[in-house]
Amino acid sequence: MGRTNPTFRDLLRALERRWSDYRRGLRHRDQERFDQLFVDAADYADAAGYLNHDEPFQPVLFSICLAQQRRIDELRERVDVLEGHVDTGDG
């Protein structure tokens, strides 16, 4: 017996195809950013699949937000290191 429901990754690919005209209308530099958003969403596809949401665009947006928050946190840590504000715990 085969699957009756598409996987979240299948839904994500279909969503990306539906947005392809929008992507084509973007400037080249933004097309790369657009592509990265779908890479970010795919990074959280397992979690989104567990959610099994009836509207796949919502977990896509939340996944993108999580990926961006991760990047913000990483950049803050780098800034702290570069500025010498790292708490070493020495006291």
Q: For 84, which DSSP code?
A: T
What is the pLDDT at residue 87? 62
Q: What pLDDT is attached to residue 85?
A: 73
User: What are the helix (H) ranges across the chain?
Assistant: 8-18, 20-25, 28-43, 45-51, 57-83
Local confidence pLDDT in tens for the 91 residues of the chain: 565 778 999 999 999 999 999 999 999 999 999 999 999 999 999 999 999 888 989 999 999 999 999 999 999 999 999 999 766 555 5
The pLDDT of residue 15:
95
Taking the model in full, what pTM does it have? Answer: 0.79
Give the whole-angstrom CA distance, residue 77 versus residue 63.
21
How many residues appear in the chain? 91
What pLDDT is stored for residue 62 in this prediction?
97
